[in-house]
Homo-oligomer: A and B are copies of this chain.
Amino acid sequence: MNVLVWNENRHEKENQVVADIYPEGIHSAIADFLGEDHENVKTATLDEEEHGLTDEVLAETDVLVWWGHKAHDEVQDEIAEKVKQRVLEGMGLVVLHSAHFSKPFKKLMGTSCDLKWREADEKERIWVVDPSHPITEGIGEFIEIEKEEMYGEHFDIPTPEELIFVSWFEGGEVFRSGATFRRGRGKVFYFRPGHETYPTYYNKEVQTVIRNGVKWANNTETPTPVYGNAQPLEEISTKS
């Protein structure tokens, strides 16, 4: 199983606070803990050629993790479209935090993916609302994060196929923080936490959820549908 962690990697270069928290970049911090589960975990970033997402790389990726924020617009449309197509073919996609506004996620959702936000060092409690879901394995009833950016409803996504987490924020908002969507043969998991100015991706329970999400999103052996003009009726259903 091949995992690829993609990161915009701009805040890390431009903001000392972020650089201090993630000296090797958010992608490396995520790849580190995913490496505990998988042998083949690679990273790619926006400023690489083709954003590190060549046809070859995408073709061999089973699950792609995506973090982006300030430079969504710099992702080439053609490459965002290729990512979407690979999801439809069966690649898993784990979308983190501000990547709610990333091009691949918006293309797959068909909505604005807009939301409320506030940077005010608020406490967040991420409650489990589906305790049967494998993405919740190994955590407790909720994950508490001392300080995070607030994201609030309405979150303009299609109705999630599975709603796993709902966040509570100190200032009075709620948010559907963990949600899954199926698109073609591919599975998509959105998970909210991870503002760049907080050390959220070092939180063990947040890591557990992302590790679970990557495992859940993997799909290699389900049937490949055939589309288009169906074969002539070889065996008409008759009963005689």
Q: Which A residues are closer than 8 A to B by beta carbons?
A: 84, 88, 90, 107-112, 114-118, 120, 122-123, 125, 127-134, 136-141, 150, 152-156, 158-159, 161-163, 166-174, 176, 181-187, 219, 221-230, 232-233, 235-240
Contacts and interface: CB of A to CB of B under 8 A. Distances in A.
Given A136-B223, A137-B222, A219-B134, A239 B171 contact: yes
A185 B136 CA distance: 11
A133 B153 CA distance: 15
A229 B168 contact: no
Given A161-B159, A167-B174, A230-B116, A239 B236 contact: yes
A110 B112 contact: no
A159 B163 contact: yes
A46 B173 CA distance: 38
A141 B109 contact: no
Contacts of A130: 159, 182
A225 B154 contact: yes
A227 B115 contact: yes
